[in-house]
Amino acid sequence: MKKQFRRLLAQEDLNFLLTNRVPRIALTHFMGKFSKIRNPIVSKASIGMWKLFTDLDLSDARTRKFRSMHDCFTRELMPGARVVDPDPNVLTSPCDAIVGACGAVAGTTVFQAKGFPYKMEELFGPGTDATPFRDGRFITLRLTSAMYHRFHAPHDVDVSHVSYITGDTWNVNPIALKRVEKLFCRNERAVLSARLRRGNHPIAIVPVAAILVASIRLKFTDVLLHLKYRGPNEIPVDARFGKGDEMGGFQHGSTIILFVPPGFEFVDGIATGTRIRMGQALMRLPVQQPAAADADSREALEQVSA
């Protein structure tokens, strides 16, 4: 048992060394350029090598012929590959992922891993108010490199603001999260401020980049957010999405952290280590008060009449 434990620690040390004790930003810039080389030999060899080290499954991809590794990273799914839970009282997963830390927010304190807390204010930066999410709930969704890399609206939402925060590119796997304090607050990220059209509940969607992630692309802005971006960090937007609509994507595996106010509850089966797919039920909305429910009914009736 002791030998097995020492072997596990040695493997974790090696993983941490190979993915973090390297020139992370330079390697990320290189991967961004290399992945876009449009050469059939380079593309086929790169994707073949990728399959050797991951559980890459392209059976649900719209196409399986890619001009570059970047095209494979950012692939679309074939129609019907994901089913979005239609229940209006349910918030769905914005992406395919493995659930990381999740649970209640203690005031504004969140845990990336046991013993490693951070403040929402540190994650959000000065451009986003953390007050609506005090004592609310959060869930960390880790996208591995082999997963589908686009993310979608977890409900019918209106996005009003994006804060872009440049930073490092630490690996965001569980080994690094247990060793690097406030890792998510160090990495490049975007904070999407939105409101559900049902109940007017605020939510915050935070895509966090990692090593080899060359950019975060949002469907509703005309800029590509990456480490060389020098535009405004606070970006006002006015974008509407239906539940399940594509919102953006990464160019490699990474993480999305979702924050909601008090009153939301996780559905059964959501726990650390659970594998989920985009569109799967994640949380239940707070029970609507009669006045809010009547307002929703009137809006639906007006839309039908129009």
User: For residue 265, what is the enclosing H or E element?
Assistant: strand 265-266
- In this structure, which amino acid lies at residue 267? V
Tokens of 78: 């074939």
67 Cβ neighbours under 8 A, 6+ residues apart: 38, 40, 43
pTM: 0.82
Q: Assess whether 93 carries a catalytic annotation.
A: no
Of 112, 109, 255, which is closest to residue 181 (Cα–Cα)? Answer: 112
Q: Tell me which of 35, 96, 168, 215 is the catalytic residue.
A: 96
Rounded CA separation 128/241 (Å): 20
Q: Assess whether 96 carries a catalytic annotation.
A: yes
95 Cβ neighbours under 8 A, 6+ residues apart: 141, 143, 147, 148, 150, 151, 152, 256, 278
Domain locations in the chain?
A: 2-73, 90-287
Q: Tell me which of 70, 152, 155, 201 is the catalytic residue.
A: 152
Q: Going residue by residue through the chain (306 aa), what tens digit of pLDDT does each one get?
A: 455 435 434 444 444 544 555 555 665 555 666 666 787 887 777 777 777 777 888 889 888 888 887 787 888 999 999 999 999 999 999 999 999 999 999 999 999 988 889 999 999 999 999 999 999 999 999 998 888 999 999 999 999 999 989 888 777 888 888 888 999 999 889 999 999 999 999 999 999 987 665 578 888 886 666 556 666 689 899 999 999 999 998 877 689 999 999 999 999 999 999 999 999 999 999 987 655 555 555 555 455 444
Q: Tell me which of 46, 68, 193, 254 is the catalytic residue.
A: 254
* DSSP 8-class letter at 268: T
